[in-house]
Structure 1
Amino acid sequence: MTLGDIPVGYRSVFRNKYRMNQPTPKPKGIARILKAFFYSLQGLKDTCKTEAAFRQELLLAVVMLPLAFWLGKTPTEQAILIGTLFLVLIVELLNSAIEAVVDRIGPEFHVLSGKAKDAGSAAVLITLLLTFICWSIIAIPPLIK
């Protein structure tokens, strides 16, 4: 049904009721920021529920965060130790997003789907290696002394 099929006297009623060809208004200002914030919290909550790897890395970050303040002797060292923990979580979130999109496309195997998932997994691995290297260089020497 198009607007031309509706008698002239009823067009405004139909247009208002069904909002023909009108995009829904997007929030602006602080409302947009708040909406985005709550969507972000929902994404964290969903990822915690569904991704075991994210839960494990989050637990590791919670345990290691106080250690970063204790083992990092300078603010720069502390920032590097804390930054690597957050980087692992960020990359794991992105990997989970890639996996969700690939799974949404379909369950059948496709070479490109496998490449996308493997690349996401490789990004997590490299980030974990970076975290291990930074923590080894900064945090282990104070423990040895």
Structure 2
Amino acid sequence: MTEHETQVSEFKSKSGVKRIYSAFFYSMEGFKSAWRSEHAFRQELMLAIPAAIVALLLPVPAVHKLVLIGVLVLVLIVELINSAIEAVVDRISFERHPLSKNAKDFGSAAVCLALLLAAASWAVIVLPLFLG
């Protein structure tokens, strides 16, 4: 291999429509796996679904509904990324290591920030409806 060539994984997807088709089914497998094996994802999804319905029913502008639902989706996205980080770390080794701990803690901190943003967004948009 020359200096300017890069290795490409044999698992790298193809291009074109087939790539889009495959990516969709890989995503569905990811959702199924997260549902089966990730307790936090299940809990957050079971909170996000009714909350999204509530957001749609609230007497607020459409952009506020989008924000309320968007922050819920953001929590799910960050949780999936956190789960992916944890899976990769565990794949490498179950042995305790400071860098493994950092990776997992960083992912957890990202989820925490997403949850705080969601809570703040809901508070700013929904509380005024009840307070006056």
TM class by shorter-chain length? 0.7 to 0.9
For 1:101 and 1:121, how far apart are their aligned partners in 2?
14
Residue 131 (structure 2) pairs with residue 116 (structure 1): no
Counterpart code for 1:79: L
**Distance in 2 (alpha carbons) for counterparts of 1:25 and 1:140:** 47
Task: Kindly report the root-mean-square deviation, in angstroms, between the aligned alpha carbons of the 2 structures.
Answer: 1.7
TM-score by length of structure 1 reads: 0.79
Distance 1:110 1:77, change over 3 A: same
Secondary structure at 2:25's aligned position in 1?
helix
The aligned counterpart of 1:65 is 52
- Say whether residues 1:77 and 2:77 are aligned partners: no
Instruction: Give, in angstroms, the shift of residue 67 of structure 1.
Output: 1.0
Equivalence for 1:127: 114
Matched, 1:49 2:40: no
Bigger Rg, which one: 1
* Preserved contact between residue 72 and residue 81 of structure 1 (Cα < 8 Å): no
Aligned counterpart for 2:85 among listed residues 79, 98, 121: 98
Query: Hey, what's the Cα distance between the residues in 1 that align with 2:65 and 2:17?
Result: 33
Amino acid at match of 1:77: H
| 1:140, distance to aligned residue in structure 2 (A) | 1.7
**1:24 CA displacement:** 8.8
Is 1:138–2:114 an aligned residue pair? Answer: no
Distance in 2 separating the partners of 1:85 and 1:24 = 31
Which residue pairs with 1:10 in the alignment? none
Q: Confirm or deny: 8 A CA contact 1:72 1:138 kept in the other structure.
A: no
TM-score (norm 2): 0.87
After TM superposition, give the deviation of residue 27 of structure 1 in Å.
3.5
Cα deviation code 1:22-44 (max 9, x no counterpart): x7995432111101100011011
Residue identity (%):
50
Asked whether 1:40 is paired with 2:36, we answer no
